[in-house]
């Protein structure tokens, strides 16, 4: 399981020109799955993301989590996080989970975040999406397991 976490002042995701999810202050999380991913990895990564202290405190030090600042999370599925571009110019996606498994894992991932009482918005699994964001800092962190 692989995620790219970006601290944002705003982010949205659109499908066919229609916004399907948007947040102001919070985290944009791009998530991809590989075969062998399971609930244990989902639990670990969701705890890690929610607990990441990457928002500024009153002294300007990154010392607050998304929950501490009253932020939201926007989750977007992205199988290309498992692209392998080491050979040739066309990336291989062999390491990405099969569509049906990835969709189940994505649903579990989103349900776990909701259970943690994080305000959550999502894209549409498997859709061609356009993501718009304002990365603050910039702060971008890779969290995988």
Cβ atoms of 32 and 2 within 8 Å: the answer is yes
State yes or no: is 79 an active-site residue.
Answer: yes
Cα distances (Å, whole numbers) of residue 32 to 2, 57, 104, 111, 126: 5, 30, 12, 16, 11
- Residue 98 is given by DSSP the state P
Using an 8 Å Cβ cutoff, are 71 and 27 in contact?
yes
Q: Which of 46, 78, 109, 122 is catalytic?
A: 78
78 annotated active-site: yes
In this structure, what token pair is assigned to residue 129? 């999406």
Q: Is 80 a catalytic residue?
A: yes
Q: Which residue is catalytic, options 79, 109, 125, 140? A: 79
Give the catalytic positions in this structure. Answer: 78-80
């Amino acid at each position: 399981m692989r995620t790219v976490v970006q601290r944002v002042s705003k982010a949205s995701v659109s499908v066919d020109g229609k916004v399907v999810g948007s947040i102001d202050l919070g985290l944009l999380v791009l998530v991809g799955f590989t075969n062998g991913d399971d609930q244990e990895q989902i639990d670990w990564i969701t705890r890690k993301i929610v607990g990441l202290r990457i928002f500024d405190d009153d002294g300007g030090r990154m010392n607050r989590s998304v929950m501490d600042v009253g932020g939201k999370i926007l989750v977007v599925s992205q199988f290309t996080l498992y692209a392998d571009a080491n050979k040739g110019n066309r990336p291989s996606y062999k390491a990405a989970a099969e569509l049906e498994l990835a969709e189940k894992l994505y649903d579990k991932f989103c349900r776990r975040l909701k259970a943690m009482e994080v305000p959550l918005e999502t894209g549409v699994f498997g859709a061609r999406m356009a993501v718009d964001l304002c990365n603050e800092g910039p702060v971008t962190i890779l969290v995988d397991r």
